[in-house]
Structure 1
Amino acid sequence: MPLPDTMYCAQQINIPPELPDILKNFTKGAIRTQPKDLLLWSAAYFSALSKGECLPVKDRLEMNVATQKTDTGLTPGLLKTLHKQLSLGQTCSKEELQKKWLGLCLPKEQLESMLALGGFTSEIKWLEFFALGCSSLGGTLMSSMKFACEILTEDEEGGPARIPFSTFVKLYTFLANLDGDIPQDYIDNFLSSLQPVMELQHGMIKPLDFIHRGDMSSTD
């Protein structure tokens, strides 16, 4: 027996008052992030929203990426989003990283390559993976560290892009050791050469302090 047709009137449809703002924020987030797979990204977005987690949304639109026709993989904006999502603890699980990575529609092959290169297993030190992400963006050690400063800084856009020297040391040391061609005494001497600058800047370091000092980075 067929079910009777159900008639609805405007009074029967209850629309939550917060729905317009939810849809507005979702639309803005999609425009800024430009996900390759809108359906996959939307599922990640509303899953994070329902759990009160950091949303998979870029701070701003990356115009040079949005106008490209091919998948460019990781970008500074996407790496910054991943950092916001996964940096609350010092470590994250491989499963959680995979979930956030795929939620941003990033290539699975790129993630697998980075995990293999860094020798990461089930539990991942986030700053080390972040450093590897900067390396995939930068190409050379110094340009990788410049990306790290620009992504991690709390300075306003266009500012000096300062980060704590202690954070710089962790990122630089990991990448330099991963390179394998940079002698330990060079690493130690390079970091020592930045100490006076760091002390003048109350424990902070910026790209202009180191970008022209790391000649050995050409061996990346």
Structure 2
Amino acid sequence: MRVVVVGGTGLIGSKLVNRLSRDGHEALAASPRTGVNTLTGEGLAEALEGAEVVVDVSNAPSFEPAAVLGFFETSTGNLLAAESEAEVGHHVALSIVGTERSPDNGYFRAKVAQERLIEKSGVPFSLVHATQFFEFVKGIADEADDGGVVRIAPVLFQPIAGDDVAAVLCEVAEGPPLNGRMEIAGPERVRMDEFFREALAALGDPREVVADPDARYFGSELAEHSLVPLGEARLGGIRYGDWVAAAAAT
């Protein structure tokens, strides 16, 4: 099966391309680095020729609200139009758990807009909503840094390893379209401030983590369940402590 992975040279995309290739599929990593630009359309038709599945794990270069909205609307619109022309039978997109619960977050609003385009496109689709990745822990802490103190809201948090995300995306790409969504999360649900206190210590980061109910998450005010699945979810198998240990050993 020919599968085109948009954003295939990034964190999740590269893991997914490797998994699909190991499963015997023809997996193409599509990104500006490989001559495929979904914003301009450059190389898109050629990349999709003969493709049966497209998996979109691309990310916006800017998190500024207007820029990120423009990216996802333009990129997704061009991609879906090219898929219709190429008669692609399955569009898989990676999104985020809780996007519709944080309307004050510009990035989440852009992901909601992306999903609406997919749902209305007529292309059979699957939406995979994931919680935050282990790989983003330091970046989240840096965003929450206030003069050397990391201020984190004491809400529920259930991050997941990038390898687990790629494994589920591979399985979804190999199966029939869901024409709906599924949610995936890590195996451990904890309080966000407690997680970051232990996670930064495991990374050798000396910053103090303070539980602050008013702390924002990339501009969002968080409620208890803003970032975790509300119902049934597929759980990854990799625990954060094991992930850190494995990363340190490489």
Give the TM-score range, shorter chain.
0.3 to 0.5
TM-score by length of structure 1 reads 0.33
Give the structure with the higher percent helix.
1
Is the radius of gyration larger for structure 1 or structure 2? 1
